[in-house]
Chains A and B, each alone.
Chain A
Amino acid sequence: MRGPSSLGIVALALLGCNGDPPAAPVPDLAAPPAPDLTSRGGDAMPPGAIAFFKTPLCPNGWFPYGPAAGRALLPTMGPGAVGDVQGEPLGDGEDRRHDHKITARLEPRSVSFAGVAGEANHGVASAAAVSAVGAADPASSGLPYLQLLVCQKNAAARPGRRPLPRGALAFFAQSACPDGWVQAGATQGRMLVGLPERGALDATFGGAPLGPADGGAGPERRAHGHGASGSVSLPGHGIALVSGCCASGYAGSGDYSYSAAGEPAAAALPYLQLLQCQKL
């Protein structure tokens, strides 16, 4: 439940990041305002930079970057795929779940009876392999995240007394990095994780970087699957024959193991691809 103070924050947000009253209806965040390069934004970040902030409102000269809302930001592989989006945006604090189609296969052992196969008792199962289909219960992929304000700079840079720190990373919704910045190499196609306690700096892990799909048909949509094995007990159906020759090909009753698989599906983490640049 949102309290009155929270509403106050929202009200301030509606006033605009500079505290000015809105001159027009709430802008369409999917269409960021054109850069005002005559405005001095009060900081050294280059115009067009897209960055995270741990504050409720964007700094002077920055505006909320609507296209990223509810998404992780994925550095593009090379210059391509800027603006590509995957999935629907997350709601506030949403732990998005996904599911899988299930296929399973059971191969019964064969038993036979001292009798004749034929009509008319239909109570005993065939020993032919059986497939079963179903669905996995929806579950989260368990990826933890932190929500931070995302803003885009649309004012000119005002250099500080010292240069911006080397190695700093920023996103851009454009095809090339600004002067003094270069596209980051190791982050391309990888989700960014804050360094854990005692973690290995700049270590990569998980799957291969996300890039173009095989065959060049647009960006790759990474999926994962699950294996499984299980057991089931098949109840018997009594008939008035002893076991033996020559009515064969009937499924035996009793315990079985089987294999199952969760078909590939995406982890349902929505993201937006942007160019990521590194300060030289």
Chain B
Amino acid sequence: MQHPRRLGPLRPEALLLAGAALLPAGAGRADDLADDGAPTSMVSFFLAAGPSCPEGWVPAAEARGRLVVAVTTPVQVGVQVGQPLSDQEDRRHGHAYSAQGALPYKAVAAADGGNRSGAKAGALSLEGQLAPAASGLPFIQLLACEKR
């Protein structure tokens, strides 16, 4: 099983970021006049907004090819799980399986002997791999940007 990956910038030094987040959006910035008022470090998806992030935003690189799972515990922010999806990739997965059944007997009026063309009655055990399949969930891939 793959271990989740934690992003470097969100380790203890992220306290500095936290402090910055307590300031009003754009506080102390030279480009206040151009600021759209979105809070710093907000990560937003954009729909039908073009291929580039708006002025004052940068691509949220960590979100590329990934869903976002919400957390409310500070140390969990930035953790990545799994390998990113490629363009419109409907990720597939498989399973190993095993199944059990029984081959019922059919009586025959004969003693045991040398003709082994008939299958032995008794337990039946099957095992193998299920064919890979997608989750069935629907997706949309959107530009994700972070407010600076």
Q: Is A81 an interface residue (CB 8 A)?
A: no
Range for the number of chain B residues in contact with chain A: 35 or more
Cβ contact within 8 Å between A196 and B86: yes
Query: A19-B22, A187-B47 in contact; A139/B93 too (CB < 8 A)?
Result: yes
In the bound complex, residues from chain B placing their C-beta under 8 Å from that of A66 are 72
In the bound complex, residues from chain B placing their C-beta under 8 Å from that of A173 are none
Q: How far is the CA of A118 from the CA of B38 in the complex (A)?
A: 85
The interface centre, meaning the residue of B90, B125, B141 with most chain A CB atoms within 10 A of its CB, is B141
User: Could you name 13 residue pairs across A and B whose Cβ atoms are closer than 8 Å?
Assistant: A13-B73, A51-B39, A132-B101, A136-B130, A143-B67, A157-B37, A160-B25, A187-B142, A194-B65, A206-B139, A228-B129, A237-B112, A262-B97
Cβ contact within 8 Å between A236 and B119: yes
Query: A42-B25, A232-B126, A235-B120 in contact; A191/B139 too (CB < 8 A)?
Result: yes
Q: Which of A54, A160, A230 contacts B146 (CB 8 A)?
A: A54
Cβ contact within 8 Å between A95 and B35: no
Cβ contact within 8 Å between B137 and A207: yes
Range for the number of chain A residues in contact with chain B: 35 or more
In the bound complex, residues from chain B placing their C-beta under 8 Å from that of A251 are 103, 118-119
Binary per-residue interface labels of chain A (135-147) against chain B in the complex, 1 for a CB within 8 Å, 0 otherwise: 1111111111111
Q: Is A216 an interface residue (CB 8 A)?
A: no
Cβ contact within 8 Å between B107 and A44: no
Q: How far is the CA of A206 from the CA of B42 in the complex (A)?
A: 28
* A118 → chain B closest CB, angstroms: 5
Q: Which of B23, B66, B72, B108 contacts A113 (CB 8 A)?
A: B108
Q: Is A213 an interface residue (CB 8 A)?
A: no
Question: Which A-chain residue is minimally distant from B92 (CB atoms)?
Answer: A142
Besides A102-B98, A187-B45, 14 other A-B contacts (C-beta < 8 A)? A10-B74, A42-B25, A45-B39, A52-B43, A55-B77, A92-B73, A131-B101, A190-B139, A193-B140, A199-B141, A205-B88, A205-B141, A237-B116, A239-B110
Q: How far is the CA of A90 from the CA of B68 in the complex (A)?
A: 12
Cβ contact within 8 Å between B75 and A2: yes
Q: How far is the CA of A251 from the CA of B47 in the complex (A)?
A: 61
Query: A126-B104, A161-B32, A187-B47 in contact; A226/B130 too (CB < 8 A)?
Result: yes
Q: How far is the CA of A163 from the CA of B143 in the complex (A)?
A: 19
Task: Give 4 nearest A-B pairs by CB, closest first.
Answer: A160-B37, A240-B113, A167-B49, A44-B37
Q: Which of A68, A117, A158 contacts B109 (CB 8 A)?
A: A117
* B92 → chain A closest CB, angstroms: 7
* A112 → chain B closest CB, angstroms: 9
Q: How far is the CA of A113 from the CA of B118 in the complex (A)?
A: 9
Cβ contact within 8 Å between B38 and A99: no
The interface centre, meaning the residue of B24, B38, B57 with most chain A CB atoms within 10 A of its CB, is B38
Q: Which of B4, B14, B35 contacts A93 (CB 8 A)?
A: B4
* B91 → chain A closest CB, angstroms: 5
Q: Which of B39, B88, B99 contacts A203 (CB 8 A)?
A: B88
Cβ contact within 8 Å between B17 and A95: no
Q: How far is the CA of A41 from the CA of B34 in the complex (A)?
A: 19
Q: How far is the CA of A158 from the CA of B134 in the complex (A)?
A: 44
Q: Which of A137, A157, A253 contacts B119 (CB 8 A)?
A: A253
In the bound complex, residues from chain A placing their C-beta under 8 Å from that of B64 are 194-197
Cβ contact within 8 Å between A193 and B108: no
Binary per-residue interface labels of chain A (179-212) against chain B in the complex, 1 for a CB within 8 Å, 0 otherwise: 0000010110111111111111111111111100
* B102 → chain A closest CB, angstroms: 7
